[in-house]
Structure 1
Amino acid sequence: MVVRLRSQDPRQPEPGRHGGARANQLALQEAIKELIVQRGLAPGSLLPTEQVLARELEVSRHPLREAMKALEALGIVDIRHGYGTYVGSVSLGGLEAGLAFRSARSIKGDLSDIRDLLEVREVLETGLVARVLDQFDQIDLPALEEAVAEMERHASSGEYAPDADLRFHETLYQPLGNALVLDLLRVFWRVFHAMDGDLPREQADPAVIASWHRDILEALRSREEPALRRAIGVHFHAIRARVG
């Protein structure tokens, strides 16, 4: 596999030299990703040594190291000094950081990015209602009950229980067996929770928040799709009201 880099021939200068260098670097990163995919390397697999990769990709070691650092930041590779470079697990940390930044910026503006984030989360959760009911027998109802009960106990003292809130949503969608869905739910939840205190309108009373989750649980127990969809919708409608 050869990386198709932009011409470095001084007799053929290109406008925007820095742009050309960036294009070369991006091409190299894409070549490394393609190598991982083409060879079917799973997360945790050891990549060829730097010397071997440089020879296979026909690049020098310096741009190769820069490419590896960029891919490590994305979680695509895991550089273990003294041991080698491995295929990474590709977490959603970059997505979470980007959404957190956009949301923080949105608080100082028109809140549109925050509203968009809530809409995506709502579409994701309500869109999975039918699948959740299909997996009803696999749902850990006692764990959901305990999460709601914990929220109610804290609410009796005027306190919100964020850990129980997140655990409720994780438990609800766990039976789907979709790790990406759970990761996305955690990202959306954590981003919104981090900016919660900076939103223009106050959070709902903890007892009301607990009641939303109690209603979702009871609708789930009824195994009626319209009721469950409606209960989840009420939950998000109340959240959206905080950002207009």
Structure 2
Amino acid sequence: MARDIGDRIKKLIIERRLPSGAALPTEPELMALLGVSRNSVREALKGLQAMGIVEIRHGFGTYVGPMSMAPMSEGLAFRTVAGHLRGEDSLRQLLALREAVEAGLIARLAGRMPAADLAELDGLVTRMAREAASGAVAAQTDRAFHAVLYRGLAIPLLSEVLDAFWEAFHRVQMDLVAEATVDPRATWHQHREIVVAVRAGDAVGAEWAVRQHFDNIRQRLHSSGTK
């Protein structure tokens, strides 16, 4: 029942083209529109709030939520941890999913990336070199690199999905993977090779560099004994 009402509220948001932050009809109005009880409306709204579709502000009303990928990140992270504890190779599966998306997109950027984005990537690669010399490339530097890299595709939904993949993978990795001995200079070098290939318009070389980067992550998982 609550799911059906939730679907009807989602349909209402779509049909009225309500943006994030827009006020939804009041509870009495939803009761009249949907022909259901107050408890049924409240139960449905709580379910939608858990998904980030609506935001309930007690004393003020209900609004269209941010529609972010946060629930997706939470779901991916939970699924991966639960699978790992059942003996599945869930972390590798999540890594393979992220690799498939990124390797499949990189060719579209080769020779087409704006100069400003390339300059920003150069700066991040330089930061990686400094961090590698100190012993480890920071996770946030890696995250920033991939965010800037695919920003040039100008697909906001894609950026959110990739960020959700990254967030879920690294949260799970920190919880489950013991510290492994991996040369951080390899991480720096692989990111540098990605930029070199993209700048040169070398689609094949760019994809190869991306896959080398993911191979490096797989080696880290293997050396830590993680499935």
Partner of 1:235: 213
Q: For residues 4-43 of structure 1, what are the alpha-carbon distances to aligned partners after superposition, in whole Å with 9 as ceiling and x for unaligned? A: xxxxxxxxxxxxxxxxxxxx11111111111111222222
Count of aligned pairs: 221
* TM-score w.r.t. length of structure 2: 0.89
Deviation at 1:134? Answer: 6.1
Q: Matched residues in 2 for 1:162 and 1:126: separation? A: 20
Structure 1 residues 134 and 26 mapped into 2: Cα distance closer, same or farther (>3 Å)?
farther
> Which of these residues, 30, 33, 48, is aligned with residue 53 of structure 1?
30
Counterpart code for 2:36: V
Partner of 1:103: 80
Question: RCO higher in 1 or 2 (8 Å CA, sep ≥ 6)?
Answer: 2
Give the match's secondary structure for 1:128: helix
* TM-score w.r.t. length of structure 1: 0.84
Q: For residues 156-176 of structure 1, what are the alpha-carbon distances to aligned partners after superposition, in whole Å with 9 as ceiling and x for unaligned? A: 111221111111100001111
Counterpart code for 2:199: R
Note the 1:10-29 alignment, pairs <5 A.
24-29=1-6
Kept after mapping to 1: 8 A contact 2:135/2:184: yes
Whose Rg is larger? 1
Counterpart code for 2:122: E
Partner of 1:219: 197
Coordinate RMSD, CA, aligned? 1.9
Give the match's secondary structure for 1:146: helix
Q: Which runs of 5+ in 1 are unaligned?
A: 1-23
Q: Matched residues in 2 for 1:132 and 1:203: separation? A: 32
Q: Matched residues in 1 for 2:116 and 2:208: separation? A: 19
Partner of 1:18: none
Note the 1:1-244 alignment, pairs <5 A.
24-133=1-110, 135-137=112-114, 140-197=117-174, 198-199=176-177, 202=180, 204-241=182-219, 242-243=221-222
Q: Matched residues in 2 for 1:104 and 1:125: separation? A: 23
Counterpart code for 2:40: P
- What is the percent sequence identity of the aligned residues? 38
Q: For residues 95-120 of structure 1, what are the alpha-carbon distances to aligned partners after superposition, in whole Å with 9 as ceiling and x for unaligned? A: 11111112222333444222221111
Deviation at 1:199? Answer: 2.7
Q: Which runs of 5+ in 2 are unaligned?
A: none
